[in-house]
Amino acid sequence: MLIVQISDIHCGPMFNGDSFRTAVEEINSLSPDLIVVTGDLTEEGIRAQFLKAEGELKALRAERVIYISGNHDYRSTGYLLFREFFPFNQVTEAGDVVIVVLSSARPDRDDGEVGHRQNLWLEDTLAKYRDWMKVVAIHHHIIPVPDTGADQITIIDAGDVLRSLVRSKVDLVLCGHRHRPWRWMIENMQVVHAGSVSCEKLRGFFHHSYNVIEIKDKKIDAKLKIVGGEYVDFKDVINKREHIKAQTS
C-alpha cells in the first residue's frame, strides 16, 4: 500500500503553481493507492480559491484521494464550500489499512480542537479495527514541531487526543498545518508532519515537500520527498543545513 500525503496547498496569493504541478507529476508517476490531502487547500476559504484548488487537484491520479479541511479553508465561512468541493468519508478502508479523518479546524480560528465527543467516536470506531493497520489523518499538528517559532496554533486538547490515539493503538498519524516536515515517535505510534507542497510560507525547512509512505507486512516506511529534489529520511531533516540556502523549486 503506497500512500502519498500532501498538505497546505494554499491556493491564493502564496500558491506556487510550478511546485504544485511538479509534485503532481512526481506523485502520479508513483501510482499511489491513496493520496491524503491534510488541509489548507485554500488561503482564505473563498469560492474562487476553492475553484482553483479543485482545478489543480483533479490532476492527481490515485485510486482514492482523501481531503481534510484546514483552518484556512474554514475562514470566510469556507466550511460551507469545503464540503461541496471536497466531500469525503471520515472512515476509509483500503486493504488491511483503515484511515480515519479527525476534523480539527473551527471557523475563523487558527488553533484547532478535536473535542471530547470526536475523541470518543475515534476510540469506538477504531475498536472495530483491532487487527488492522490504523492511520489517523488530521490537519493540525498534535505535538509541537521544532524550528517553527512560538506555537499558539496547535490543537487545544492535544493531551486528550494523544491519549485516545495511543489507547486505540494507532500506528500512524498524518498531520499538516505547520509547513515544516517532522516525525515524532510516541510509544509505537509514528506521528508524521508534512511540510507544504506549494505555499511560499515555509518554516525551518525551505523546500516544498510531501510524504511518501509505504505500508507493507505491518511495517510503515515514511519518507520525505522534496519537490523536484531528493528523498530525505526524517532523521536527517534537522541536519540538512544545506537546505537552508537552497531555493524552493
Residues engaged in binding Fe ion (CB under 5 A):
8, 40, 70-71, 177
The distance of closest approach from Cβ of residue 17 to Fe ion in the complex, given in angstroms and rounded to an integer, is 17
Considering the complex, state which of residue 2 and residue 143 has its C-beta at the smaller distance from Fe ion. Answer: 143
Beta carbons within 10 angstroms of residue 131's beta carbon:
7
The distance of closest approach from Cβ of residue 169 to Fe ion in the complex, given in angstroms and rounded to an integer, is 27
Considering the complex, state which of residue 8 and residue 157 has its C-beta at the smaller distance from Fe ion. Answer: 8
C-alpha cell of residue 75: 475562514
Considering the complex, state which of residue 35 and residue 220 has its C-beta at the smaller distance from Fe ion. Answer: 35
The distance of closest approach from Cβ of residue 105 to Fe ion in the complex, given in angstroms and rounded to an integer, is 8
User: Which residue in the shown chain puts its C-beta closest to Fe ion?
Assistant: 40
Considering the complex, state which of residue 71 and residue 154 has its C-beta at the smaller distance from Fe ion. Answer: 71
C-alpha cell of residue 182: 517532522
Residue type, 133: M
Separation of alpha carbons 158 and 111, rounded Å: 11
Q: Which residues contact 44 (CB under 8 A, 6 or more apart)?
A: 12, 72, 75, 76, 78
Separation of alpha carbons 164 and 11, rounded Å: 33
Considering the complex, state which of residue 53 and residue 220 has its C-beta at the smaller distance from Fe ion. Answer: 53
User: What Å distances lie between residue 110 and 97, 139, 145, CA to CA?
Assistant: 31, 11, 16
Question: Quick check: 129 and 170 in contact, CB under 8 A?
Answer: no
The distance of closest approach from Cβ of residue 199 to Fe ion in the complex, given in angstroms and rounded to an integer, is 6
Q: Is the dihedral of CA 59, 7, 25, 216 positive or negative?
A: negative
The distance of closest approach from Cβ of residue 112 to Fe ion in the complex, given in angstroms and rounded to an integer, is 8
Considering the complex, state which of residue 134 and residue 179 has its C-beta at the smaller distance from Fe ion. Answer: 179
The distance of closest approach from Cβ of residue 40 to Fe ion in the complex, given in angstroms and rounded to an integer, is 3
27's enclosing H/E stretch is helix 17-30
DSSP 199-221: BS---SS-S-EEEEEEEETTEEE
